[in-house]
Amino acid sequence: MLAKSIIITSGALLLVAGIILYARPSYQGIRAGYADENYIKSADCRSCHADHFASWSRTFHSRMTQEARVSTVQGDFLHQNRYEYLDVKATMEKRDDRFFITFKFPDGSSQTAGIDRTVGSRRIEQYLTKQQGQYTRLPVAYDLVNRRWMSLNGSFFYPDSDNYFQHLAQWDANCVFCHNVKAQPHIDFQSKQFQTEVSELGIACGACHGAGAAHAEAALSPFTRSAWHLQRDLDKKIVNPLKLSAERSLMICGHCHGQRVPEPFDRIQTILTKGDPFNAGEDLAQYYRPIERHVHVGQVSFANRFWANGSPRLTAYEYQGVLRSKCFVKGEPGKRINCLSCHTMHSGDPDGQITAENRTDKPCVACHGQFADKPALVAHTKHAADSVGSRCYNCHMPRAVYGIMAFHPTHDITVPDPQLTASAGVPNACNQCHLDRGVNWSIEQSKRLWPQYFASAQLSTDDQFSLPEGPRALFAGDALTRALAANLLGGGGPMKPDPLWASPFLVEAFADNYPIVRFFVANGLTRSGLPWQLEKPDYLAPAAARDAMLRQWREATNACPADVRQQAGLLSSTLRLRRRDVDIEVGE
């Protein structure tokens, strides 16, 4: 009887084991032959990594590209759902569980586009429509910060235009590569048609950890999981950016945060057909090279995306900034500074993916420990220890980079040099605080305070650089420089200028012919603490309406000192004659 019982029990256990083995998922070999072979979905990672899945879900990465559903669309398709621009009337509607935008044109014709996907969930929400199998970005978007509809003409560095569809874009050929995992456009070069696939919409687990099939399949075994917990150095068949060399870890982020061209360039045909060849953990340089100021593709130059010294002036070039920095160049190979020196993917504030602690000087002091001591810090910065002038980021990573309706810290970590502003138009950190002082004043101070570095610095002979730098840049710079100055004068920088001094300059700048400059002006004129209570001026309104707003705001700023108002009028008219406008294709 005992033997029979043992046989029955063993048979039952084998049967159960067989059922479990048969029923368990199989990951290896999925998508065989495609660029995303052995890539799994983030949902597949969830059962073992629930905490990481939850922390990732809170990030803007996870919501970068989404199917348009009631649970994902943030734009107002029900209430404030009409928007007129350039005499084209757009009406946004929700019909059952779908979303639509109908465009009515001045000639009486109309066109309705269904919303199939959204791009972005932090500052603006853009909309994709699928027509004949192709995804197209529509020309209107929803401003998530100001809760209003807008034309994408208002977020790029181009002057006022009568082209309503100026920023209509093909998603399959461009946006798909950085806003999703393992893009595969599958273009037919004869028909110019795409049959785009991605491993997963948005920036998901595979973007940073690579193909997860081998890891997931191995993890199905409780014995393997136990061994991994007991011996941390075992190969888990997955890429962990924290365990890579600094250079390879940086490349994972640089794959998207470093706009690039194929290497060699004729690889572009393979990329547009078979898909993006790069996998996390590999050498990015084997497939791509970062775009730099001197790079051309045919007749297209990328020079305007960089300051004259080669430093990036747009986001999505953070990789290039880090590669230029002495903190990286002079670092020990394998242990250099990289994105994870400051940022974290699974904790901290989703806005910037950085912890509160790393918003302080802590990451810098980790290497430059001598400045943890307050007297040494003051001797180094020549500013009070608790002032904005003693914060590492403010001086060495000033907000001089534009991206999606905001300015961000440069990742080109440098020593502030006011001479570059006078000689090459590169903004300097000193005048981001000292907006009411000239560049020549900053050069004089650098010579006085840091003679070991700037003893031979020369003042500019151009008299404009003796004028207050905030107003000078606001009227004499190119469009990006003017937008940056408007942001700083409006309180968007480390130092908040007196609004009674700054506002008359901002009012005159509302006459700018670039909508993006007026956007930052409008924000600055309606920041908190002002003595007037006027509605934010509409930077995308028709010219006649903007002229009326300008008159209204000039009246409001009669509360400001008369000499400041007079100076604002004089500088706006004289400095505009000196400026050279350069249009910039943002490329995001």
Mean pLDDT by 10 residues, the chain (588 residues): 58 49 75 97 96 96 97 97 98 97 97 98 97 95 97 95 94 92 96 96 98 96 92 92 96 97 94 97 97 92 95 97 96 94 94 95 95 96 96 97 96 97 97 98 97 96 98 97 98 95 98 97 92 93 97 95 97 93 74
| Residue 281 is assigned to a structural domain of this protein | yes
- What is the helix (H) or strand (E) element at residue 42, kind and residue range? helix 42-45
- What does the buried/exposed string (b/e) look like for 312-337 if buried means 16 or more CB atoms within 10 Å of the residue's CB? bbbbbbbbbbbbbbebbeebeeeebb
The answer to whether the CB of 533 falls within 8 A of the CB of 555 is no
Give the model's pLDDT for residue 584: 81
Q: Average pLDDT over the chain, rounded to whole? A: 94
| Residue 283 is assigned to a structural domain of this protein | yes
Considering the domain architecture, whether residues 519 and 562 belong to the same structural domain is answered as yes
Considering the domain architecture, whether residues 192 and 287 belong to the same structural domain is answered as yes
| Residue 458 is assigned to a structural domain of this protein | no
Range of the domain at 276: 182-348
Considering the domain architecture, whether residues 160 and 80 belong to the same structural domain is answered as yes
Domain end position, chosen among 315, 348, 381: 348
| Residue 432 is assigned to a structural domain of this protein | no
Give the model's pLDDT for residue 81: 97
Considering the domain architecture, whether residues 83 and 167 belong to the same structural domain is answered as yes
Domain end position, chosen among 151, 177, 203: 177
pTM across the whole model = 0.93
| Residue 195 is assigned to a structural domain of this protein | yes
SS3 state of residue 412 = coil
Considering the domain architecture, whether residues 163 and 194 belong to the same structural domain is answered as no
Considering the domain architecture, whether residues 342 and 217 belong to the same structural domain is answered as yes
Give the model's pLDDT for residue 16: 45
| Residue 337 is assigned to a structural domain of this protein | yes
Beta bridge partners of 305: none
Q: What would the pLDDT profile of 548-573 be if each residue is shown by its tens digit?
A: 999 999 999 999 999 999 999 999 99
Considering the domain architecture, whether residues 82 and 195 belong to the same structural domain is answered as no
Domain end position, chosen among 177, 206, 224: 177
Q: Where does 49-123 show beta strands of DSSP type E? A: 65-67, 82-85, 88-95, 98-104, 110-115, 117-119
Give the model's pLDDT for residue 11: 54
Per 3-state DSSP, the chain is made up of helix, strand and coil in percentages (nearest 5) of 40, 15, 45
Give the model's pLDDT for residue 3: 58
SS3 state of residue 232 = coil
CA atoms within 13 A of residue 405's CA, in its CB half-sphere: 22
Give the model's pLDDT for residue 232: 85
Considering the domain architecture, whether residues 71 and 99 belong to the same structural domain is answered as yes
Handedness of CA 539, 544, 548, 551 (dihedral sign): positive
The answer to whether the CB of 194 falls within 8 A of the CB of 187 is yes
| Residue 237 is assigned to a structural domain of this protein | yes
State which amino acid sits at residue 22.
Y
Give the model's pLDDT for residue 17: 45
Considering the domain architecture, whether residues 89 and 141 belong to the same structural domain is answered as yes
Considering the domain architecture, whether residues 164 and 203 belong to the same structural domain is answered as no
Q: CA 121, CA 144: separation in Å to the nearest integer?
A: 8
| Residue 413 is assigned to a structural domain of this protein | no
Considering the domain architecture, whether residues 272 and 327 belong to the same structural domain is answered as yes
Considering the domain architecture, whether residues 123 and 190 belong to the same structural domain is answered as no
Q: CA 201, CA 61: separation in Å to the nearest integer?
A: 10
Which DSSP state fits 76?
-
**Number of independent structural domains in the chain:** 3
Give the model's pLDDT for residue 529: 82
